[in-house]
Amino acid sequence: MSSRTCAIVGASGYTGRELLRLLTHHSGLAATVAMTARPDTDPAPPRLPHEPTVDRLDLDRLATVDGVFLCTPHGAAATIARHAIALGKPTVDLSADFRLSDEAVYGLTEHKRDELAAAQLVANPGCYPTSILLPLLPLLAESLIGLAAPIVADSKSGVSGAGKAASERTHFGNVHENFLAYGVGTHRHTPEIHRHAGTERIVFTPHLLPAFRGILSTIYVTPTGATTAEHAAKSMRDCLATRYAQEPFVTVYADGQPELCCVQHTNECHIAVAASGPLVVITAAIDNLGKGAAGQALQNMNLLLDLPETAGLL
Amino acid sequence: MSSRTCAIVGASGYTGRELLRLLTHHSGLAATVAMTARPDTDPAPPRLPHEPTVDRLDLDRLATVDGVFLCTPHGAAATIARHAIALGKPTVDLSADFRLSDEAVYGLTEHKRDELAAAQLVANPGCYPTSILLPLLPLLAESLIGLAAPIVADSKSGVSGAGKAASERTHFGNVHENFLAYGVGTHRHTPEIHRHAGTERIVFTPHLLPAFRGILSTIYVTPTGATTAEHAAKSMRDCLATRYAQEPFVTVYADGQPELCCVQHTNECHIAVAASGPLVVITAAIDNLGKGAAGQALQNMNLLLDLPETAGLL
Amino acid sequence: MSSRTCAIVGASGYTGRELLRLLTHHSGLAATVAMTARPDTDPAPPRLPHEPTVDRLDLDRLATVDGVFLCTPHGAAATIARHAIALGKPTVDLSADFRLSDEAVYGLTEHKRDELAAAQLVANPGCYPTSILLPLLPLLAESLIGLAAPIVADSKSGVSGAGKAASERTHFGNVHENFLAYGVGTHRHTPEIHRHAGTERIVFTPHLLPAFRGILSTIYVTPTGATTAEHAAKSMRDCLATRYAQEPFVTVYADGQPELCCVQHTNECHIAVAASGPLVVITAAIDNLGKGAAGQALQNMNLLLDLPETAGLL
Amino acid sequence: MSSRTCAIVGASGYTGRELLRLLTHHSGLAATVAMTARPDTDPAPPRLPHEPTVDRLDLDRLATVDGVFLCTPHGAAATIARHAIALGKPTVDLSADFRLSDEAVYGLTEHKRDELAAAQLVANPGCYPTSILLPLLPLLAESLIGLAAPIVADSKSGVSGAGKAASERTHFGNVHENFLAYGVGTHRHTPEIHRHAGTERIVFTPHLLPAFRGILSTIYVTPTGATTAEHAAKSMRDCLATRYAQEPFVTVYADGQPELCCVQHTNECHIAVAASGPLVVITAAIDNLGKGAAGQALQNMNLLLDLPETAGLL
């Protein structure tokens, strides 16, 4: 019944598999080609009904589909993306390869729909940046955040963000009943956040949760002008509620706090805003494999292929 | 072989049980009385060798010991504490009842030794405040932190901090593979932190980890003056390393990041300092049941009873 | 687009919520009524789009739907079921109330399709019995299992099987990093297994896993006659593979072992058969909330309402 | 204060580190040499006070200590053990290298004290066998178990049993919220169990729990003669209670069930016995790193060096 087809390159990693899973519920788009990023891997049989076999890399097969998803490791996507574009195939790259480049449209869907409609190559946002930019962009656009003091974005992610490769870092014994900050001051996502927020006044710290999926970012911002934090929190909440009122995947809480369990296995972003002393504390939760990766990638591909934006995602 | 004895009131909760466990390894202090905070509970048999039976509340028995630990719920300790003091028994109260009061010495041991030596009543610090004050106090004393912008203390705790009582909040299904902020702008520990830091310029947000024990606080501070964050981070790290060089339970990292697993089941606090953009990020890890509760309480009791400070804690 | 409607009584528990979630993906059946089992509860707003509000109990509303699911506590379902049947509404009862009764058809779907087509009241099987009966029934029917020695069914379940109520048993601190057997020799599911297996020669022991969803049963059976265990294992595997070859929700492995992660969030049962010494070891995995509860209930309701059996379940 | 010294070879794995941790609390034995099993590793600094640096392998250093622990991978221990024996150093080998050999005493302490007193080389039992043999040996010795039907030993272990090496099997994403049987009919511990139980009528199946430490074995045995299972369960419980009455590390329950949390971080084995249908179900819990490895190894070394058997273990 699907009228359009797509290829997934890097289909054996967490985000590739999540895309395969989402597409089994998509009535207008089917994954007809699934490949690893390597030319020497044995084919892996489907894990779910309606899934294709995951074959070894064969770029010629990209000519047979309508759109291309790249879920390859960072660094490996650029060449394949250019090949797909040359074949005229709209491409969503989930790696970091084009996120700081003018070659691609940055696919934070709710903020880039006009550009996405005409795009050939989409740089799908990183998981941490998605959780930070969705709440911050409307507030920065409305100048509701004072930048005399830096914005603090303290983010916590499940282990799936570290990928499927076995390492000391992902060993159960090092994750379970543990917690730590990492990449303090040096994480690759910092320049991505700065570029797309339009300001370098954001200090970002990622942490590793003893959980598999989900990101929660706790963001501390200073009100502008002489307003109280309570008043500023209300203004910011109203701004976000208005901005996202028609968005199917963004929910702004009137009260209460988002939890990972509210957004896991969804393409949603849940946002709360509260005053705390002189600051406003914004919390935003997404599924790092959903809105933070495969979900948003499918949302973008739907736009590229002129399919309903929410198809396969509700 | 133990020459001194103590009572634990509230011995069936997590902190009471942790104290019982610690005391089985203490060569100079024995728990000879263990009671619940309620007068109507059936006695519970010991869980470990050398532990006493946990009996129902009987204040007369406090006269038989050298020191008293109160692990009762907040609000229930004050009356019992005054009874123990009237009996002339040095008392460490692990509840919040005296933390904002002049009646007691605030037992952040490394910063209160002089007062503790002469104290009758010790208000044992809260777990979150311990993880925040240990790194901040030396830096504030040396004026290394600018307070034009507030300090942000983003803290994450294991579930044992919520106590042993069954509730929707502590149900496995709501904790496992979940994460959330709570008490944003309203948590009871905020005034405790403000009072003992000597400044209200600290914004504190607690979060609930899908783990049982441990707290990690990520603290964002502004350098003073015109220094770079890298330079300020070095100054702060040096300040903390010097201040705590002789402390058996505080470790300041030269590099790397503390993890919960490094401090679980210990009385230690591990601290790292790193620059991140214009700010300095301080991470501090403790065991909320160790240095954040029972461990520090024992450290304080050792001082009250003129026992070696580290006894039972190494 | 849904042409048929149903009510869910007991919609706020884990199985009720799972049914609501499944029905949001069902194109031919919609949950138009959701109620708690109590007459005095405040209405709870929907958690997902297309979900109804969960109202307090009002039996009159059952007249407005085509079918009724009962997810109430054991003991509370019988009265409501009889009310629904009197209204002529096909009813699937997920409680234990009718599993040992002749009033209802026992809804182990793959083995009861003929009876289910004509049924008014279905007793949906318990989670543990489903995981044990699906592999055993074909083998017992073919007399491939010797009963001189009892069959041993050693089952392990995630905590969701214990329900949503907060208790000492479901406290994170008692589940996480823990494991135990319970109900040894006395569990309520034992007579259910015996009745529907047609033999009392099954010894069943449930255990509580430090996980949320899924059941894995390890079943030890004696070969009949003088055959080797290797030979018997092959015969049993062949028997099961043949019996379930056309079943969309039962998979018999040629080799390897089922894992909980293979069946979580599905209506599937995965089965492996292997020789071990003189015995044959059968392992069967299901999602206790899926094939062990809500999934199988929906599969049964599809049959009662003459909808495609797999609707909402793939 | 320690009068005796020991070396740990393979000190960077889970069991080696556990030994180092235990020895920091031992008043009569100190680890003065800690080495990896490899000659080319950089020295690793101590993780706890009083621990030695973990150096690269240097067999000459074994001459400087009173006893040797081998925590090396299976296959690597035999050569080092023979070197240590040649130096006259009592050696406890925690690998599997000598468990099926007559060269060593099999160190199931409670059953081998006489031989251990005179031993030079001890093969420390595997974790699964320890949890199965401790309850079975007294019952087999008293002929309380019928062997017409095989004994079923269904065992579940935390992930630490799989060691510290990163692999697909130990990745958090494959362990967390998962469960499976492995090595069905083929596990290396089966011949060890058979040899030391003195019967091959034991069918053993190991499973991997989503937890870090602990083993619980559920063992199904047939009563002898015409007795009821209830009567047989009582006889078996009495037999075990009598046999282990004076043992400091074995507890036989009068009622209730052992849980992993009761034995984690201890050298204890907790055993319960209950009737279930025609069988008796014995559950036994140990810490796989404690009584299942490092704890029992230290218990054995205490005997070899004529130290108090419980030193460092209470």
Residue C256: name the closest of A45, B150, A26, A258 by CA. A45
pLDDT of residue D48: 66
Residue C274: name the closest of C252, C245, C251 by CA. C252
Q: Report pLDDT digits (tens) over B248-286.
A: 999 999 999 999 999 999 999 999 999 999 999 999 999
Q: Name the least confident of A35-49, A272-286, D191-205.
A: A35-49
Q: Is residue D312 part of a domain?
A: no
Q: Which residues of D touch B265 (CB under 8 A)?
A: 265
Q: How far apart are CA C119 and CA C121, in angstroms?
A: 6
CA distance B177 to chain D (A): 9
What lies within 8 Å, CB to CB, of D48 at 6+ separation is D20, D21, D24
Which CATH number belongs to the domain containing residue C279 in this structure? Answer: 3.30.360.10
Asked if residue D19 has pLDDT above 90, the reply is yes
Residue of B nearest to C171 (CA): B171
Q: Is residue A131 part of a domain?
A: yes
Contact flag B314-D49 (C-beta cutoff 8 Å): yes
Q: Answer for the pair C286, C120: CB distance below 8 angstroms, yes or no.
A: no
Q: How far apart are CA D273 and CA D138, in angstroms?
A: 13
Residue C162, helix vs strand vs coil: helix
Q: Which residues of A touch B278 (CB under 8 A)?
A: 150, 201, 203
Q: How far apart are CA A56 and CA A60, in angstroms?
A: 12
CA distance C290 to chain D (A): 15
Q: Which residues of C touch A176 (CB under 8 A)?
A: 177
CA–centroid distance for C8 within its chain: 17
Between D226 and A2, the higher pLDDT residue? D226
CA distance B19 to chain C (A): 17
Asked if D117 and D136 sit in the same domain, the reply is no
Asked if A104 and A168 sit in the same domain, the reply is no
pLDDT of residue D49: 64
DSSP secondary structure of C211-276:
SSS-EEEEEEEEESTT--HHHHHHHHHHHHHHHTTT-TTEEE-SSS--BHHHHTTSS-EEEEEEEE
Q: What is the phi/psi pair of residue D87, to 5°?
A: -80, -5
**Where in chain A does DSSP place strands (E)?**
4-9, 29-35, 54-55, 67-70, 91-93, 105-106, 121-123, 145-146, 151-157, 180-181, 202-208, 215-223, 250-252, 269-276, 279-286
Kindly indicate the confidence band of residue A2, based on its pLDDT and cuts at 50, 70 and 90.
Answer: low
Q: Report pLDDT digits (tens) over A128-176.
A: 999 999 999 999 999 999 999 999 999 999 999 999 999 999 999 999 9
Whole-number mean pLDDT of chain C?
A: 94
Asked if D15 and D26 sit in the same domain, the reply is yes
**Where in C118-214 does DSSP place strands (E)?**
121-123, 145-146, 151-157, 180-181, 202-208
Q: Which of the residues of A are catalytic? A: 127
pLDDT of residue A42: 78
How many residue pairs bridge chain A and chain D with CB atoms within 8 Å of each other?
50
For residues C20-34, give the mean pLDDT.
93
Q: CB count, 10 Å around CB of B143?
A: 10
Q: Is residue A314 part of a domain?
A: no
Q: Give the best residue of D157, D164, D169, D172 to mutate against chain A (max A CB count within 10 A).
A: D172
Residue of B nearest to D314 (CA): B49
Helix (H) or strand (E) holding A191: helix A189-197
Residue of D nearest to C156 (CA): D179
For residues C78-96, give the mean pLDDT.
96
Asked if B237 and B299 sit in the same domain, the reply is no
The closest CB to that of D314, out of B49, B177, B314, belongs to B49
The closest CB to that of B216, out of A179, A200, A281, belongs to A179
Rounded (10°) angle between helices B109-117 and B127-141: 90
Q: Which residues of A touch B283 (CB under 8 A)?
A: 180-181, 184
Asked if B114 and B198 sit in the same domain, the reply is no
The closest CB to that of D166, out of A14, A168, A212, belongs to A168
Contact flag A178-B260 (C-beta cutoff 8 Å): yes
**Is the CA virtual torsion A172, A173, A176, A179 positive or negative?**
negative
Q: How many CA atoms lie less than 13 Å away from B204 in the CB half-sphere?
A: 26
Q: Report pLDDT digits (tens) over C241-293.
A: 999 999 999 999 999 999 999 999 999 999 999 999 999 999 999 999 999 99
Asked if C112 and C131 sit in the same domain, the reply is no
Q: What is the phi/psi pair of residue D257, to 5°?
A: -125, 140
Asked if B169 and B240 sit in the same domain, the reply is yes
Residue of B nearest to D261 (CA): B47
Q: How far apart are CA B250 and CA B266, in angstroms?
A: 11
Kindly indicate the confidence band of residue A49, based on its pLDDT and cuts at 50, 70 and 90.
Answer: low
Q: Which residues of A touch B158 (CB under 8 A)?
A: 177
Q: Which residues of D touch A14 (CB under 8 A)?
A: 173
Contact flag A281-B220 (C-beta cutoff 8 Å): no
Which residue among the candidates B6, B71, B127, B269 is catalytic per the annotation?
B127
Q: Which residues of B touch D176 (CB under 8 A)?
A: 177
The closest CB to that of A210, out of B152, B204, B209, belongs to B209
**Neighbours of D (≥3 Cβ pairs closer than 8 A)?**
A, B, C
pLDDT of residue B39: 75
Q: Answer for the pair B271, B284: CB distance below 8 angstroms, yes or no.
A: yes
β partners of residue D29 = D4
For residues D13-20, give the mean pLDDT.
95
Q: Answer for the pair B179, A262: CB distance below 8 angstroms, yes or no.
A: no
Within chain B, which residues score under 50 in pLDDT? 1
Q: How far apart are CA D102 and CA C20, in angstroms?
A: 63
Asked if A253 and A131 sit in the same domain, the reply is yes
Q: Is residue C312 part of a domain?
A: no
pLDDT of residue B302: 97
Asked if A42 and A187 sit in the same domain, the reply is no
| Domain count across chain A | 2
Q: Is residue D139 part of a domain?
A: yes
Which CATH number belongs to the domain containing residue D24 in this structure? Answer: 3.40.50.720
pLDDT of residue C48: 66
Q: Is residue A88 part of a domain?
A: yes
Asked if D272 and D143 sit in the same domain, the reply is yes
Asked if residue A1 has pLDDT above 50, the reply is no
The closest CB to that of C176, out of B167, B168, B212, belongs to B212
Contact flag C156-D207 (C-beta cutoff 8 Å): yes
Contact flag A212-D166 (C-beta cutoff 8 Å): no
Q: Answer for the pair A300, A24: CB distance below 8 angstroms, yes or no.
A: no
Q: Is residue A313 part of a domain?
A: no
Asked if residue D1 has pLDDT above 60, the reply is no
Asked if C131 and C273 sit in the same domain, the reply is yes
Asked if residue A224 has pLDDT above 80, the reply is yes
For D35, the domain range is: 4-124+292-304
CA distance B252 to chain D (A): 14
Residue D262: name the closest of B188, B64, C174 by CA. C174
pLDDT of residue D52: 84
Q: Is residue B314 part of a domain?
A: no
Contact flag A175-D172 (C-beta cutoff 8 Å): yes
What percentage of chain C exceeds 70 in pLDDT?
A: 98
D67-104 burial, b if ≥16 CB within 10 A, otherwise e? bbbbbbeeebbbebbebbbeeebbbbbbbbbbbeeeeb
B285-295 burial, b if ≥16 CB within 10 A, otherwise e? bbbbbbbbbbb
pLDDT of residue B225: 80
Residue C174: name the closest of C202, C149, C222, C210 by CA. C210
pLDDT of residue D2: 59
Residue of A nearest to D13 (CA): A173
pLDDT of residue D40: 76
Tokens at A9, concatenated: 């390159």
Asked if D101 and D134 sit in the same domain, the reply is no
